[in-house]
């Protein structure tokens, strides 16, 4: 349309030609009637009105030759010969033609952009690919042998399925769309360029070849370094998973600082590796952008050369190709950042496919009716060593037969191989067939080697209760129902399942506490069942095991955490269940195995004794007889076989140390986190890192310089148009000069973009490092109730730690530098446009900018909503996957792999559905924002044509403004293409800032606390509870009220009672995990709330019911939380001897330097772990030792030695001991025993008895009834 405004009709053209001919006839010089120029605003007919003449560059070469041959003088007047409405455009102005062709090329780009399905399809594809690859990864992990799963930390899994999958999703959803769109535009530009001049295009394409070669060199380096960064990220994520998965142990040991240093080491290593990308980015951008801008110089110089030599017939061909090259440069510049993201995605995909493509376990084989589980299980000469400790044999030629339908018990000291037998039966490890392997022997199920059986079928025949039961973060109903997977009841309706589950819970003595829960079977148990006590978790695990009526029942210390009365009831149920069923029992509490049909005594990896209970007792000096004698408890009263019927009905209180959080934390949680705006959030992060101002300045200067490239390019292009005024040598000189100017611009741009790449990446990795360190420290400093919240489960925390600092890094790095360049470019383009013509610029800018910014605002708003939803789902799904991997043994034993994958798939599908709805709106807005740019171009072209036609604007001004508007529009488009990065970074930065201590926390921390200073003489602490009450925030009834306890220095005090009555809460209150609802607790006469936390906890040592170890050596685990100056080597060895673990450690090839590996929890047996934790507690030389079922996993001999060591310390008055126990033999020498109980349901627990062991027995009260229940009391 704009071209038609300046083109006269054919009649006017003929009239103008006649007038031109008349003028030429009057002149003594013969002028070419076809010579037309463009100067001072419009095309002109040549005349001889002045001596200022020059050869017309607009004359076609073929006509030039014709005119010369006919004797015409090809010169023209540079002044106006006609009025605006009279001038002839018989030969159309080449500049206007080229602009029209440029608009055609640009329109081809915008035609693609304007259709929202493009962005929508890529967004949907990214979400689907990300979901599928996460699902495939988890599925592949479930298909690995457990020896390989043990080498994969939960942190690695979390980092992979969050950070790395997010990189892949972002690459496909946002960057890959830009990449393909740009490549399409690139192809369109080259097609048009080749159409007009293949020679010029081919020569100009050499710059593109240079770019390809440069990228082929730099991108492999980027990928290689990125893989190293990913490995470092996996390491610090693994440490974070360990820390927050064992937060109570970490806090009680005061190990925050040492573990923070370990975490910080790998964060710094990731920063160092990430900093290695800075130089690569600098070189990459220098090569790419220098080549791209140098192609302008080459295109212009070589195009004019071809034109002068006659190889190009029209000057507009040069300009058309030049415009095409400009589009190519713009496209390649726009894909520089997405290309890097795609390379990172390629590196991330490598981490996924490394596992997905690995060899998987063959799970196929025989099943019913070809095989049966109603057969004997036979071990023949089995020799086994764990892959993590190949130099330490565990089983040494074991021969055992587990008879079908009989109960076989395994007893023996810790580490003798009992749990290894269970692992081999479950096929977590396999015996090798080759003679070179250390693992030899055979295991048969009847006539079949168990390796020939279908894996899932075989495991579905087994009901397993582990020593440390694992419950999923689901309802009680679902946790028990998981036991029905793989059975004939799996597909039954919930009504049928409900009957089976309730029956199993009654038999497991779990229905008592379930009925007292407000939500009953619908109660969410929390991560790893954290909302229930140890005994309650164990009873649910037993119910889950027996609900499917398995053909084979394996009980590995199944009742170790249950109180005496509960154990009697559960054991009776297990006895009933095990009738006519192959049952394997592992126990240290010998009262649970006395009725076994066959007992096998293990020692040193072999069976040393076998027989019934009575047969083994008759063997003088026998191992079994010594174990029984070690557990006998002297009674001062005669045993009454009927006392069990008179047991006081002690009600299990459905409370637990982690049922909920304290009111203070709940109130804090109800306080809405601050949702700062994008600019304020990122600005605050940058302001706090203002010490890095030299990098800030470097980034700003380099991005500002790079941003001026487009405005300068517009101005230079206008100058190139003016070159066409000249002829002869003057034309050559001008062409060379301005080509040189473009080359110098290319050099400057190369240097500036190189600086941008280097400084932006250097700045981003440093700020990311600072954010990650602070984030970790802030979460680590949160009180225990914070970690009790379901949204703050360890998997969710690790996911946020992995992704949030990374998102901030991405924005402050190149994803922030390029929008900054676009901003400076827009400002520069608008400024230069206004300087050349305010009228056209005003119309264009203010017509387009409001719409553009409105679209941008709406898009970022939707992206923020999408990111908030995405982050929540990512955290939820990653927590679920991490939980499943952490409980891989439980998952595999229950054959839950398919159920876990189905549920994981459902989580991902729910995310996709929500994301698809958001994607529709976001892509529509994206299309609208891009179409505004096209409208601005059309408006500029139309209105500029009007101004040209009216002679109000010169062509130079028009071209500068038009080019500036085009470049400014492209800069705006590039800026808003990073909207998703803005949203992600703003949400992540908000979470990082909101993790900081709240004002009330800072106020409490600012109150000066009393420091506890250790004296040279070690003395036991004095502890008193004064009218202490405690209630969890979600419960209406207090857990206990009016608790008054006095513990004197050096005393040994024990708390006993039913599961869930508040015993462990007493330990938690002393550790200051929680604060009393009312009343005070004093430590050596001082209120513990007035004591400085760190120095107070250094006076305490806690051995928890479930011992926790960390990656590292045995020495590092024992000394965790201590400075090297706080102990000597002799003290370390003595602590290990007191804990009966020194001999085991020294038997290992590397002794105390033995590495426990990524999953330290599975490297040692339960008893070995517990003894290490006891040694760790004793080495701290505490004045108060807290034991929460500390010896539940120890064999009788080890328990006796350990107990004696602690009693000796207590007798010296150098140690005060507070113990919680169900094994009453461990507390019979206590100075005072406090017995918890509850008279009626719905009331708080209370202490019903207190006294020494003998005093309580003489009273024949509750304690006496508990002691009298089993024959062999433990």
Token pair of 59 as six digits: 């004359």
Q: What is the pLDDT of residue 871?
A: 67
CA distances (Å), origin 216, targets 220, 223, 295, 785, 878: 7, 11, 19, 52, 35
Residue in the structure block whose two tokens are 């006294």: 1251
Question: How far, in Å, CA of 548 to CA of 490, rounded?
Answer: 9
CA distances (Å), origin 1259, targets 636, 1253, 1262, 1265: 11, 10, 9, 10
Claim to verify: residue 548 and residue 415 sit in the same structural domain: yes
Strand locations in 1067-1182 (E): 1078-1083, 1086-1087, 1100-1103
**Cβ burial 273-311 (10 Å sphere, 16+ → b, else e):** bbbbbbbbbbbbbbbbbbbbbbbbbbbbbbbbbbbbeee
Claim to verify: residue 700 and residue 841 sit in the same structural domain: yes
For residue 1127, which of 1163, 1161, 1152 has the smallest C-alpha distance?
A: 1152
Question: How far, in Å, CA of 675 to CA of 8, rounded?
Answer: 61
Backbone angles phi and psi of 488, in degrees to 5: -70, -10
Claim to verify: residue 926 and residue 874 sit in the same structural domain: yes
Claim to verify: residue 275 and residue 328 sit in the same structural domain: yes
State yes or no: cis peptide before 369, omega within 30 of 0.
Answer: yes
Let me know if residue 736 belongs to a domain.
yes
Let me know if residue 711 belongs to a domain.
yes
Claim to verify: residue 148 and residue 210 sit in the same structural domain: yes
Question: How far, in Å, CA of 997 to CA of 703, rounded?
Answer: 36
Claim to verify: residue 128 and residue 38 sit in the same structural domain: no
Please list the residues that pair with 586 across neighbouring strands.
Answer: 410, 556
Phi and psi based region of residue 71 (left: phi greater than 0; alpha: psi -120 to 50; beta: remaining): left
**CA 773 to chain centroid:** 15
Let me know if residue 1265 belongs to a domain.
no
Claim to verify: residue 73 and residue 126 sit in the same structural domain: no
HSE at residue 1137, side-chain half, CA atoms within 13 A, is 6
Q: Which residues contact 966 (CB under 8 A, 6 or more apart)?
A: 102, 106, 937
Claim to verify: residue 732 and residue 827 sit in the same structural domain: yes
| Residue ending a domain, choose from 999, 1031, 1059 | 999
Q: What single DSSP character describes residue 268?
A: H
Which DSSP string do the residues of 474-499 spell out, in sequence order? SBHHHHHHGGGTTSTTTTS-HHHHHH
Token pair of 1110 as six digits: 């960390």
Q: CATH no. for residue 683?
A: 1.20.1560.10
Question: How far, in Å, CA of 896 to CA of 470, rounded?
Answer: 13
Let me know if residue 652 belongs to a domain.
no
pLDDT along the chain (1274 residues), means of 10: 39 50 41 35 35 38 40 34 32 41 43 54 80 86 81 80 81 77 81 84 80 84 88 89 89 90 92 91 89 82 81 77 75 73 81 83 78 89 83 86 90 82 88 68 89 87 83 87 85 87 86 82 81 80 87 82 67 76 82 83 87 86 77 44 36 39 45 65 85 89 88 79 76 85 90 92 92 92 85 82 87 84 84 84 75 70 70 69 80 83 80 71 68 73 82 78 72 68 81 80 55 64 89 68 86 82 85 89 90 88 85 90 87 87 86 82 77 89 86 69 71 79 77 76 75 86 73 40
Q: CATH no. for residue 459?
A: 3.40.50.300
Quote the domain boundaries for residue 126. Answer: 99-358+671-999
Question: How far, in Å, CA of 652 to CA of 566, rounded?
Answer: 10
Q: Are 74 and 55 in contact (CB under 8 A)?
A: yes
Burial of 1120 (0-12, 13-18, 19+ CB in 10 A): buried
Question: How far, in Å, CA of 550 to CA of 485, rounded?
Answer: 11
**Cβ burial 738-765 (10 Å sphere, 16+ → b, else e):** bbebbbebbebbbbbbbbbbbbbbbbbb
Claim to verify: residue 823 and residue 691 sit in the same structural domain: yes
Claim to verify: residue 87 and residue 141 sit in the same structural domain: no
Q: What is the pLDDT of residue 666?
A: 45
pLDDT digit string, tens, across residues 128-140 = 888 888 888 888 8
User: Could you tell me the strand order of the sheet in which 1078-1083 lies?
Assistant: 1040-1047, 1023-1030, 1078-1083, 1086-1087
Q: What single DSSP character describes residue 352?
A: H
Number of domains in the chain: 3
**DSSP strand pairing (598-603 vs 582-586):** unpaired
Let me know if residue 1223 belongs to a domain.
no
1253's enclosing H/E stretch is helix 1253-1259
Which DSSP string do the residues of 1147-1173 spell out, in sequence order? HSTTGGG-B--S-GGGTS-HHHHHHHH
Q: What is the pLDDT of residue 873?
A: 65
| Residue ending a domain, choose from 964, 999, 1034 | 999
Q: Hey, how many other C-beta atoms are within 10 angstroms of the C-beta on 1130?
A: 8
Q: Are 537 and 511 in contact (CB under 8 A)?
A: no
3-state per-residue secondary structure call for 613-675: HHHHHCCCCCHHHHHHHHHCCCCCCCCCCCHHHHCCCCCCCCCCCCCCCCHHHHHHHHCCCCC
Q: Are 575 and 581 in contact (CB under 8 A)?
A: no
Please list the helix, strand and coil fractions of the chain in percent, rounded to the nearest 5, in that order. 60, 10, 30
459's enclosing H/E stretch is helix 455-460
Claim to verify: residue 506 and residue 579 sit in the same structural domain: yes
For residue 983, which of 808, 800, 1141 has the smallest C-alpha distance?
A: 808
The three-point CA angle 931-937-942 to 5° equals 125
Burial of 687 (0-12, 13-18, 19+ CB in 10 A): exposed
Let me know if residue 822 belongs to a domain.
yes
Q: Are 544 and 504 in contact (CB under 8 A)?
A: yes
Which DSSP string do the residues of 1008-1045 spell out, in sequence order? PPBPP---SS-----EEEEEEEE--TT-SS-SEEEEEE
| Residue ending a domain, choose from 57, 92, 127 | 92
Backbone angles phi and psi of 538, in degrees to 5: -65, -35
Let me know if residue 172 belongs to a domain.
yes
Question: How far, in Å, CA of 746 to CA of 269, rounded?
Answer: 36
Question: How far, in Å, CA of 1107 to CA of 1168, rounded?
Answer: 10
Q: Are 599 and 624 in contact (CB under 8 A)?
A: yes
Claim to verify: residue 812 and residue 688 sit in the same structural domain: yes
Question: How far, in Å, CA of 818 to CA of 652, rounded?
Answer: 63
Let me know if residue 1111 belongs to a domain.
no
Q: Are 1110 and 253 in contact (CB under 8 A)?
A: no
């Amino acid at each position: 349309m704009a071209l038609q405004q300046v083109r006269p009709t054919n009649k006017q053209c003929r009239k103008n030609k006649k007038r031109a001919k008349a003028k030429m006839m009057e002149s003594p010089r013969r002028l070419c009637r076809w010579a037309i120029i463009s100067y001072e605003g419009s095309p002109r007919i040549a005349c001889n009105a002045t001596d200022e003449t020059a050869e017309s560059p607009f004359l076609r070469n073929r006509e030039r030759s014709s005119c010369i041959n006919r004797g015409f003088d090809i010169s023209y007047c540079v002044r106006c010969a006609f009025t605006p409405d009279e001038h002839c455009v018989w030969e159309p102005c080449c500049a206007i033609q080229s602009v029209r062709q440029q608009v055609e090329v640009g329109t081809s780009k915008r035609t693609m952009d304007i259709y929202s399905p493009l962005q929508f399809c890529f967004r949907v594809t990214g979400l689907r690919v990300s979901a599928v690859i996460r699902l495939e990864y988890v599925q592949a992990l479930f298909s690995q042998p457990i020896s390989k799963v043990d080498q994969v930390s939960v942190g690695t899994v979390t980092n992979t399925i969050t950070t790395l999958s997010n990189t892949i999703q972002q690459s496909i959803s946002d960057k890959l769309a830009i990449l393909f769109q740009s490549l399409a535009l690139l192809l369109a530009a080259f097609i048009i360029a080749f159409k007009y001049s293949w020679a010029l295009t081919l020569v100009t394409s050499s710059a593109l070849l240079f770019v390809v070669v440069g990228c082929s060199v730099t991108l492999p380096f980027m990928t290689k370094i990125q893989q190293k960064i990913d490995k470092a990220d996996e390491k610090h994520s693994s440490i974070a998973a360990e820390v927050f998965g064992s937060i109570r142990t970490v806090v009680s040991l005061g190990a925050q600082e040492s573990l923070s240093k370990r975490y910080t080491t790998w964060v710094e290593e990731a920063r160092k590796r990430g900093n290695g990308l800075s130089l690569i980015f600098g070189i990459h951008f220098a090569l790419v952008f220098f080549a791209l801008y140098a192609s302008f110089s080459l295109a212009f110089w070589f195009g004019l050369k071809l034109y002068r030599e006659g190889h190009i017939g029209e000057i507009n061909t040069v300009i058309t190709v030049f415009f095409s090259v400009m589009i190519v440069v713009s496209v390649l510049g726009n894909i520089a950042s997405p290309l890097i993201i795609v390379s990172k995605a390629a590196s991330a995909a490598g981490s996924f496919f490394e596992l997905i493509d690995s060899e998987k376990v063959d799970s196929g084989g025989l099943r019913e009716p070809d095989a049966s589980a109603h057969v004997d299980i036979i071990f023949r000469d089995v020799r086994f060593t764990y892959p993590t400790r190949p130099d330490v044999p565990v089983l040494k030629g074991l021969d055992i037969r587990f008879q079908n339908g009989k109960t076989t018990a395994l007893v023996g000291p810790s580490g003798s191989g009992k749990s290894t037998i269970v692992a081999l039966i479950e096929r977590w490890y396999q015996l090798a067939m080759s003679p070179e392997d250390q693992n030899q022997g055979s295991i048969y199920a009847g006539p079949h080697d168990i390796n020939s059986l279908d894996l899932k079928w075989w495991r579905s025949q087994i009901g397993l209760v582990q020593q440390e039961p694992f419950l999923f973060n689901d309802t009680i109903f679902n946790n028990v129902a998981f036991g029905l997977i793989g059975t004939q009841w799996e597909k039954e309706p919930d009504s049928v399942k409900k009957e089976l589950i309730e029956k199993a819970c009654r038999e497991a003595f779990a229905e008592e506490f379930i009925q007292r829960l407000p939500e009953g079977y619908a109660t969410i148990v929390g991560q790893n069942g954290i909302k229930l006590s140890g005994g309650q978790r164990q009873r649910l695990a037993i119910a889950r095991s027996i609900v499917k009526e398995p053909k084979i029942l394996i009980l590995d210390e199944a009742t170790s955490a249950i109180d005496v009365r509960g154990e009697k009831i559960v054991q009776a149920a297990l006895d009933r269940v095990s009738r006519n069923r192959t049952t394997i029992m592992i126990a240290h509490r010998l009262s649970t195995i006395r009725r076994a049909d066959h007992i096998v005594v293990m020692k040193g990896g072999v069976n040393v004794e076998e027989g019934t209970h009575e047969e083994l007792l008759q063997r003088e000096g026998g191992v079994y007889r010594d174990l029984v004698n070690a557990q006998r408890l002297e009674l001062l009263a005669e045993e009454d076989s009927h006392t069990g019927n008179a047991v006081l009905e002690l009600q299990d209180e459905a409370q637990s140390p982690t049922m909920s959080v304290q009111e203070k934390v709940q109130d804090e949680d109800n306080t809405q986190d601050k949702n700062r705006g994008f600019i304020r959030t990122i600005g605050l992060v940058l302001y706090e890192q203002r010490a890095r101002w030299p990098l800030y300045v470097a980034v700003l200067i380099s991005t500002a310089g790079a941003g001026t490239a487009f405005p300068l390019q517009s101005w230079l292009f206008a100058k190139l148009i003016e070159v066409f005024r000249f002829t002869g040598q003057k034309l050559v000189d001008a062409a060379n000069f301005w080509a040189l100017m473009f080359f110098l611009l290319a050099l400057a741009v190369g240097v500036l973009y190189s600086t941008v790449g280097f400084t932006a990446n250097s700045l981003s990795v440093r700020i990311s490092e600072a954010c990650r360190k602070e984030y970790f420290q802030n979460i680590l400093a949160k009180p225990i109730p914070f970690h009790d919240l379901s949204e703050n489960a360890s998997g969710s925390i690790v996911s946020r730690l992995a992704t949030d600092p990374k998102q901030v890094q991405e924005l402050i790095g190149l994803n922030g530098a390029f929008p900054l360049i676009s901003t400076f470019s827009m400002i520069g383009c608008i400024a230069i446009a206004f300087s050349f013509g305010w009228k056209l610029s005003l119309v264009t800018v203010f017509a387009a900018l409001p719409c553009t910014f409105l679209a941008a605002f709406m898009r970022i708003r939707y992206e923020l909503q999408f990111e908030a939803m995405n982050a929540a789902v990512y955290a939820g799904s990653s927590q679920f996957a991490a939980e499943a991997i952490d409980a891989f043994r439980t998952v595999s034993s229950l054959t839950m792999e398919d159920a876990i994958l189905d549920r994981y798939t459902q989580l991902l599908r729910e995310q996709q559905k929500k994301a698809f709805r958001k994607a529709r709106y976001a892509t529509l807005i994206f299309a609208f924002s891009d179409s505004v740019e096209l409208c601005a171009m059309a408006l500029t072209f139309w209105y500029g044509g009007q101004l040209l036609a009216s002679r109000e604007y010169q062509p130079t001004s028009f071209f500068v403004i038009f080019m500036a508007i085009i470049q400014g529009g492209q800069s705006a488009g590039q800026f808003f293409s990073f909207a998703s990065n803005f949203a992600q970074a703003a949400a992540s930065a908000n979470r990082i800032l909101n993790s900081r201590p709240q004002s009330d926390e800072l106020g409490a921390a600012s109150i000066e606390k009393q420091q506890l200073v250790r004296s040279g003489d070690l003395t036991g602490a004095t502890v008193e509870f004064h009218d202490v009450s405690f209630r969890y925030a979600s419960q209406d009834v207090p857990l206990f009220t009016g608790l008054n306890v006095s513990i004197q220095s050096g005393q040994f005090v024990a708390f006993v009672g039913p599961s869930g009555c508040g015993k462990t809460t007493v330990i938690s209150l002393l550790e200051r995990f929680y604060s009393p609802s009312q009343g005070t607790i004093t430590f050596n006469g001082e209120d513990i709330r007035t004591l400085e936390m760190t120095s107070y906890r250094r006076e305490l040592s806690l051995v928890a019911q479930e011992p926790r170890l960390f990656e590292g050596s045995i020495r590092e685990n024992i000394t965790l939380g201590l400075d090297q100056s706080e102990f000597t080597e002799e003290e370390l060895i003595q602590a290990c001897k007191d804990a009966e673990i020194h001999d085991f450690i020294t038997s290992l090839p590397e002794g105390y330097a033995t590495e426990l590996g990524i999953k330290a929890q599975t490297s040692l047996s339960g008893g070995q772990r517990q003894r290490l934790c006891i040694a760790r507690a004793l080495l701290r030389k505490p004045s108060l030792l807290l034991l929460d079922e500390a010896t539940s996993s120890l064999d009788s001999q080890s328990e006796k030695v350990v107990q004696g060591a602690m009693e000796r310390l207590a007798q010296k008055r150098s140690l005060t001991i507070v113990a919680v126990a169900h094994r009453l033999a461990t507390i019979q020498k206590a100075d005072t025993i406090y017995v918890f109980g509850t008279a009626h349901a719905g009331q708080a627990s209370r202490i019903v008895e207190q006294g020494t062991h003998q005093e309580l027995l003489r009273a024949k009260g509750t304690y006496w009834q508990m002691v009298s229940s089993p024959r062999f009391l433990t």
